[in-house]
Amino acid sequence: MLDRGVLRHDLEMVRQRLAHRVEPGILDDFTAADARRRGVLTEVQALRGRRNRLSKRVAMAKRSGMDAADLVQESRKVHAQISELEDSARTLNDETQRILSQIPNLPHPNVPQGPDESANALVSHWGEPADVAFTPKPHWELGVRLGIVDFERAAKLAGSRFAVYTGPGAKLERALMNFMLDVHTSEHGYTEILPPFIANSRTLYGTGQLPKFAHDLFKLEESDYWLVPTAEVPLTNLYADETLSPNDLPISLTAFTPCFRREAGSYGRDVRGVIRQHQFQKVELVKFASPETSYGELERLTSDAEEILRRLGLPYRKVLLSSGDMGFSAAMTYDLEVWLPGLGEFKEISSCSNFEDFQARRARIRMRHPGGRRGKTEYVHTLNGSGLAIGRTWLAILENYQEADGSVTLPEALRPYAGAERIARSGVLE
């Protein structure tokens, strides 16, 4: 979350930077609640001074043998007033904290200002779509014809927006998971983590999913447990309430997890195929860095995700998101969008973000100040990105590597993991 001091002392700057990100009136709500809280604290401080003075007068009266009953009674009244105001201050503090938890992060000054994706900036483009002499089919047609994905049986088991992967379809998912994890751990310097796939409310608060986005999460009944929407949640909170050594930074972690999302705000978008599912698999990349190095780490993390796309030979573009198109917690985000010839468009396959100290402030993740000055700490910067979303990589391979006869050739980098060169028209690996 944001530093309260920034909102108090530079409110107009915050208004300008959040012009396309914040709900109307919420900054004024925070300012009003914070002013009331500080006003009450000022009253408390004044009454404490008065109570101290009364205590001294009571002591002096008793030493002099004077009747101190009236002073004692007055002191008790002041004490009661202080207790009442302290209760009010706690209530107002909770209110300001509640409002503050719903204010998004400030965009980095280099982020394009704009209300939505129309203001995004194209950064780079890699690869060219294959020139084929047939009309490419979408992955949901290819996968069903090959018998490697089943949407009807998935609907029977769980409902819409689920998929059952079968035979080579399931093996391709597993091959992609192993390939991505091997590249990131062996070549990019990430430590692999296998975290719980369930998180408590405090953990989801730390990364910014709660309280604002509870509607997009799956909660387990009669518990404080939620299914994780992304491995970002457990990985980032591994160091919650801890103080890291600057010598240990940057810390780079990766994990494979299933991810669970209601997709409550998708409003009928991408309902066919496996583009937007309630459950999908993903390899996540998370970094902890010092404030001085975090934007260099963002470039490295994004490059690590890009390397997976390049090795798989999948054409993609890199886009810098505008202030209105970024996620709630992000200060800067690059989207990697893969080309899908069956759909005839680019689709996001990875979002790589620097959150600066926004998540670390919520999760209380600090670092000792460089130079070892005793007692000096500051918040670390956290970063994350998909390295990659496996389901979308799966469908991108089907659509980009399809042949005229309905078979699918596998990228060379993936063949050792799949133990085959292609998925034949008959739906078997060859």
What's CA 188's distance to the chain center, in Å?
21
Quickly list H helices, 312-414: 358-363, 390-400
Query: Which member of 74, 263, 348, 378 is catalytic?
Result: 348
Q: What is residue 160's predicted lDDT score, i.e. its pLDDT?
A: 93
Q: What is residue 375's predicted lDDT score, i.e. its pLDDT?
A: 65
CA separation for the pair 48, 71 (Å, rounded): 15
Q: What is residue 137's predicted lDDT score, i.e. its pLDDT?
A: 95
Q: What is residue 146's predicted lDDT score, i.e. its pLDDT?
A: 96
Known catalytic membership, residue 430: no
**3-state SS, residue 242:** coil
Q: What is residue 331's predicted lDDT score, i.e. its pLDDT?
A: 98
Query: Which member of 232, 306, 392, 399 is catalytic?
Result: 392
Cβ-contact 354, 294 below 8 angstroms: yes
Q: Summarize pLDDT for 387-425 with one digit per residue, the tens.
A: 999 999 999 999 999 999 999 999 999 999 999 999 999
Token pair, residue 418, equals: 């799949």
Known catalytic membership, residue 50: no
Q: Which regions of the chain are under pLDDT 50? A: none
Token pair, residue 181, equals: 């994890």
CA separation for the pair 54, 75 (Å, rounded): 6
Q: What is residue 89's predicted lDDT score, i.e. its pLDDT?
A: 93
Query: Which member of 17, 37, 261, 361 is catalytic?
Result: 261
Q: What is residue 372's predicted lDDT score, i.e. its pLDDT?
A: 55
Q: What is residue 238's predicted lDDT score, i.e. its pLDDT?
A: 98
Tell the residue number behind the tokens 């963002």, with chain if given: 298
Q: Summarize pLDDT for 361-396 with one digit per residue, the tens.
A: 999 999 997 765 566 899 999 999 999 999 999 999
Q: What is residue 373's predicted lDDT score, i.e. its pLDDT?
A: 58
Helix (H) or strand (E) holding 52: helix 26-63
Q: What is residue 23's predicted lDDT score, i.e. its pLDDT?
A: 83
Which residues pair with residue 10 across a beta bridge? Answer: none
Query: Which member of 161, 276, 300, 362 is catalytic?
Result: 276
Query: Which member of 329, 351, 353, 386 is catalytic?
Result: 351
What's CA 27's distance to the chain center, in Å?
22
Known catalytic membership, residue 261: yes
Instruction: Tell me phi and psi for residue 8, to 5 degrees.
Output: -75, -40
**3-state SS, residue 330:** coil
